[in-house]
């Protein structure tokens, strides 16, 4: 693998600026990361991180929302953003020669958002429509229900978008204060990748970035231990849908735990691809569903491994039986070395292909810096994955797949009570 040249500079106001030089690329990608997300919110202002993300595209003192779009798209580039539990990212990608124009627009919206009252009210309605859109899509809404079941009473249990009621409560003063306090040097990471040079990027972006106030790091509420071992929790929602939507979640450890590599391999074996155990059992061998998958998310101090299946309500009991048996097998038996090898090859192979992109490299180094305060060379990560053994996978499975750390979310026209209540019991 041809690893890019990684460089990092810490600016005097606390901003971390990192580059991945990929001289063979035609593109450049710029990301500005604010180290604040939904888990940093107060319950009464749930959704403010996501609301601010929207509003940064609505204009600055020198650019209207139309100007922002026109200046980026008119040079052949694109602009986007997303909000997660612990960070918010704004990024632009385009031909390498457009880097100065892309950086200029991105820094302007990140630092100088106007929060015009009329734009706030218009965008408030847009966000409420987005919430309704997710609510009307049960395969997405069930994920919010799972978070609520897994982390009740904690910010992680609240939807990233907020609710209609919480978004309506957020004032212009709330938005302005949130942006001023949290979009600061101490909470900002800048990642630039593609056909770029570190010194040129520093010269181009450094002066504007150094004008940002240093600020202070933003604390967050840790997840109490009892939330991870509080017994099985479930949330059901009955509605008129053709298909039942089932999510099962298991509390895991945080991103600093060395077992995270075994967890990654376990997730691949469980449900990340078409050769995974759940896909084969539920879809290929028993025809119980069309869609089934698993995902593992690790945060600073906690994590969640989740399973999703969309299926006919009559198939839920059998699907749960097969799923429970599958999880018990992982917890009690070692998988073969050949399956470990295949899961490793899939994980490394997909990562290598993805990291050929300047966008994926921008995400990789941004998430590395946010999570570990350094850039993790992909080869280092691949080597750690290569050390995972069958025993390590079994030990993680036995630790994670427990009834007392399980959450279930379900949306369907009927609720099969006995099947859900007895899961892993």
User: CA-based angle 230:236:237, to the nearest 5?
Assistant: 150
Token readout for 365 is 């180094």
Token pair, residue 146, equals 């799972």
Distance from C-alpha of 3 to C-alpha of 202, rounded to nearest angstrom: 21
Beta bridge partner(s), residue 237: 411
Q: In the numeric block, which tokens belong to residue 370? A: 């946010």
Please state, in angstroms and rounded to a whole number, the distance separating the CA atoms of residues 102 and 107.
9
Contacts of 152 (CB under 8 A, 6+ apart): 227, 233
Among 128, 220, 115, 105, which residue's Cα sits nearest to residue 171?
Answer: 115
CA distance 330 to 40: 35
DSSP 299-333: -SS-EEEEEEEEE-GGGHHHHHHHHHHHHHHHHHS
What contacts 203, CB < 8 A, 6 or more positions away? Answer: none
For residue 302, give both structure tokens.
């906690």
Do the bridges between strand 16-21 and strand 188-194 make them parallel or antiparallel, or are there none, so unpaired?
parallel
- Where in the sequence numbering do the catalytic residues fall? 53
Give the C-alpha separation, 114 to 333, whole Å.
58
- Token pair 């006919």 in the structure block, residue: 312
- Which residues, in sequence order, are bridge partners of residue 79? 92
């Amino acid at each position: 693998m041809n690893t890019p040249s990684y460089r990092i500079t810490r600016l005097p106001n606390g901003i971390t600026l990192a580059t991945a030089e990929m001289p063979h690329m035609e593109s450049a990608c710029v990301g500005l990361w604010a180290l604040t997300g939904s888990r940093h919110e107060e319950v009464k202002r749930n959704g403010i991180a996501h609301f601010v993300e929207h509003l940064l595209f609505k204009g600055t003192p020198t650019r209207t929302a139309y100007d922002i779009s026109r200046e980026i798209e008119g040079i052949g580039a694109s602009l986007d953003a997303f909000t997660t539990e612990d960070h918010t990212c704004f990024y632009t990608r385009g031909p390498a020669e457009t880097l100065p124009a892309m950086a200029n627009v991105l820094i302007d919206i990140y630092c100088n958002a106007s929060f015009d009252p009329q734009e706030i009210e218009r965008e408030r309605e847009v966000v409420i429509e987005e919430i309704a859109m997710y609510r009307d899509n049960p395969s997405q809404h069930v994920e919010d229900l799972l978070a609520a079941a897994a982390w009740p009473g904690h910010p992680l249990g609240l939807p990233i978008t907020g609710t209609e009621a919480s978004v309506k409560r957020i004032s212009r003063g709330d938005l302005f204060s949130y942006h001023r306090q949290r979009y600061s040097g101490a909470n900002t990471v800048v990642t630039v990748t593609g056909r770029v040079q570190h010194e040129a990027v520093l010269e181009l972006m450094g002066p504007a970035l150094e004008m940002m106030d240093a600020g202070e790091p933003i604390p967050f509420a840790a997840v109490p231990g009892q939330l991870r071992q509080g017994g099985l929790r479930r949330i059901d929602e009955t509605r008129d849908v053709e298909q039942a939507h089932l999510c099962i979640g298991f509390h895991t450890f945080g991103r600093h735990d060395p077992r995270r590599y075994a967890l990654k391999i376990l997730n691949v074996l469980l449900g990340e691809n078409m050769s995974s155990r759940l896909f084969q059992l539920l879809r290929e061998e028993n025809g119980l569903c069309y869609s089934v998958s698993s995902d593992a998310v690790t945060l600073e101090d906690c994590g969640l491994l989740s399973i999703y299946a969309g299926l006919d309500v009559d198939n839920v009991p059998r699907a749960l039986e097969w799923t429970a048996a599958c999880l018990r097998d992982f917890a009690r038996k070692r998988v073969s070395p050949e399956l470990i090898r295949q899961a490793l090859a899939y994980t490394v192979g997909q990562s290598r292909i993805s990291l050929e992109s300047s966008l994926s490299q921008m995400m990789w180094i941004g998430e590395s810096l946010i999570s570990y305060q350094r850039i993790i060379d992909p080869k280092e990560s691949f080597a750690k994955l290569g050390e995972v053994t069958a025993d390590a996978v079994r030990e993680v499975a036995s630790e994670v797949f427990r009834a007392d750390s399980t959450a279930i979310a379900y949306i369907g026209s009927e609720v099969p009570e006995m099947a859900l209540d007895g899961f892993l019991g």
